[in-house]
Structure formats: structure tokens, C-alpha cells
Amino acid sequence: MDQLRREGADLFYLDNQLCLRPMDWNQFHRVSDNWRDLLAYLHRHEEENQNGSRRQA
């Protein structure tokens, strides 16, 4: 969380959702690829849950 804040964004939980908000939209490019990858993974996981599909182990 501290690293993300240093990069210019805030990660928070609101209305049963994990949210990422840049402190300034012009700083969004500073958010590291690792955080973007994590958010993309969470988004894909949520879509799979909504579609009723599950990943095979």
C-alpha cells in the first residue's frame, strides 16, 4: 500500500469492490505494471465468477 501511494495512487475497498484511484489522473502512468497486472487479474477473476466459469487447476 505504501509503495502504491508513493507511485501516486490509492487502493481502497468500497461497496464490495477493490478500487484503484490515482491521486491525480495525470500521474496514472506512474503506477507500476505490477499493480496494473494485479488489477487486470482481479477483473478477469470477477468476470469468470459472473459467467459461472472456473479455472481448471
**Per-residue cell: 56:** 481448471
1-57 residue pLDDT tens? 788 788 788 888 889 887 878 777 777 677 778 777 887 888 888 888 888 765 554
Given this model, what pLDDT does residue 6 score? 82
Given this model, what pLDDT does residue 2 score? 83
Tell me the pTM.
0.46
Given this model, what pLDDT does residue 56 score? 52
What distance in Å separates the CA atoms of residue 7 and residue 44, rounded to the nearest whole number? Answer: 24
Question: Which residues have CB under 8 Å from 4's CB, separation 6+?
Answer: 10, 11, 20, 31, 35
What distance in Å separates the CA atoms of residue 31 and residue 20, rounded to the nearest whole number? Answer: 10
